[in-house]
Structure 1
Amino acid sequence: MDVEGEDLSHAALGERLAPGEVHVFRGCDLTGADLRGAALGGARFESCVLERTDFRAADLDGAVFSGGGGMGLRFDDADLVDASFTDVDLASARFGGALLSDAAFTGCRMIGASLTATRGTGFTLTRSNLTLANLGGCSLRGQVIEGVRFDDADLSGCDFTGSTFSDCRLRGTKLIRTVFAKADLRGADLGEPDDAKLRAFAGAIVNRAQAAAILAARGITVL
């Protein structure tokens, strides 16, 4: 199925997509479309309007999303193994229960997105805005996280063991039971070093300027 420029808004498409086919959507309007449980392995969505599109429990193994997007996408319980999202608007998207092993998010707007209770061995984040996002409990062990804004995001219970942060921001971030053991935070803006952050950063690697700021917050002057 190869569709270009069609208005598929609010359409129930799940039953129209035959398993085993590779489906391509280019410049389509999928506003409010129902793709729950759809067989979309390897599908491509290029510059599509995806406002409130419902992909709950869909098979999106290896799917490619490039450009486009919209508010309120639903990916709850979807299979997103090896899926890639590049320059996609995923603001307020919901990924609860989704399988995200080796999924990749690059250049995405993910403000207010919810990735709590996702499953799998981890996913990658590059040059994306996750301000106010909720990643509670996500595993991102050993990842290289580059150019990501986590301002005011909830990272409670996340595992960043051994991960490297480059050009990232952690200002106002919620870090309850977050693990940064052996994580390299030298390339991150850590924001105000409050008690919760200091507990979370136990075992992490920081640079001299970061260490001095942490000590200064405790009334200790480094000369």
Structure 2
Amino acid sequence: MADRPRTRPAPPTETTIDSADWDSRDLSGETYRRVAFVDVDMTEAFGRGADFSECHFRGVRFNASIHTDAAFVNCAFTRCTFFDTTFTACKLVGSVFDGCTFDLLKVDGGDWSYTSLAGADLRRATFDGVRMREADLGGARCAGATLRGLDLSGAWFHNADLSRCDLRGSDLSSVNVQTVTLAGAVIDPYQAVTIAAGLGFDVRGDIERAGRRPRAPR
């Protein structure tokens, strides 16, 4: 099977905000469309309901910022830092991340469907209860990450490293165990059945034999 294309062009922008100091800025209710943010410092920025549409963030520092009910739809993030950043109930549908860092990123709820996180280092990130339908996680490094309760239907995982990852409650129906690393990943019993079925096992319940030990050979 051919690899899914991982790159999408950044959206065209009409205005530019360059090298601005938005440290601790309250972004509540602010709206931006087709704006290029270049080397902007958004450290400890915060707010509820900010709306960024088709924007391009280049070299932006989102460190320790807190975003609630915000939208970053069809945006591109290039070489941005998300150290200890929190997204709560945010919408990032169709956004692309390239060359970004995500240490201690926390995502709680929201919709990240169709996002591209191809090749991203998410080893110290936490995603909980997020909708990520058809997201591109090809080649993503998620060893030891927390990816719990995610809707990952149709997501792309080719060559992703999910070893030691907490995947409990997530939809793993699109995970091809032959093309990802899963050693030590934590899953629940329902997911174990789904993966076994994906490997071609005929999973059945046998009440009569349940719990019996194998007979010792005579």
TM-score computed with the length of structure 2 as normaliser: 0.79
Report what 1:17 is aligned to. Answer: none
Deviation at 1:148, TM superposition (A): 0.8
Q: Deviations over 1:19-66 (max 9, x none)?
A: xxxxxxxxxxxx965322111111111111122233221111111142
Unmatched tracts of structure 2, length 5 or more? 1-12, 205-218
C-alpha distance in 2, partners of 1:222/1:134?
Answer: 34
Report what 2:211 is aligned to. Answer: none
| 1:114 and 2:106 aligned | no
Report what 1:57 is aligned to. Answer: 39
Percent identity over paired residues: 24
C-alpha distance in 2, partners of 1:146/1:119?
Answer: 19
From 121, 141, 161, the counterpart of 2:143: 161
User: Contact (CA 8 Å) 1:100, 1:118: kept in 2 or not?
Assistant: yes
User: Contact (CA 8 Å) 2:19, 2:38: kept in 1 or not?
Assistant: yes
Aligned residues: 192
Higher relative contact order (CA 8 A, sep 6+): 2
| 1:134 and 2:134 aligned | no
C-alpha distance in 2, partners of 1:124/1:89?
Answer: 16
SS of 2:196 mapped into structure 1: helix
Identify if the C-alpha distance between structure 1 residues 142 and 84 changes in structure 2 by more than 3 Å, giving closer, same or farther: same
Report what 2:210 is aligned to. Answer: none
Equivalent residues in 2 for 1:1-40 (5 A)?
34-40=16-22
Deviation at 1:142, TM superposition (A): 4.0
SS of 1:100 mapped into structure 2: coil
TM-score computed with the length of structure 1 as normaliser: 0.77
Report what 2:198 is aligned to. Answer: 217
Deviation at 1:167, TM superposition (A): 2.0
Unmatched tracts of structure 1, length 5 or more? 1-30
Identify if the C-alpha distance between structure 1 residues 192 and 100 changes in structure 2 by more than 3 Å, giving closer, same or farther: closer
Report what 1:96 is aligned to. Answer: 78
User: Contact (CA 8 Å) 2:102, 2:124: kept in 1 or not?
Assistant: no
C-alpha distance in 1, partners of 2:125/2:199?
Answer: 31
Report what 1:80 is aligned to. Answer: 62
RMSD (Å), alpha carbons: 2.1
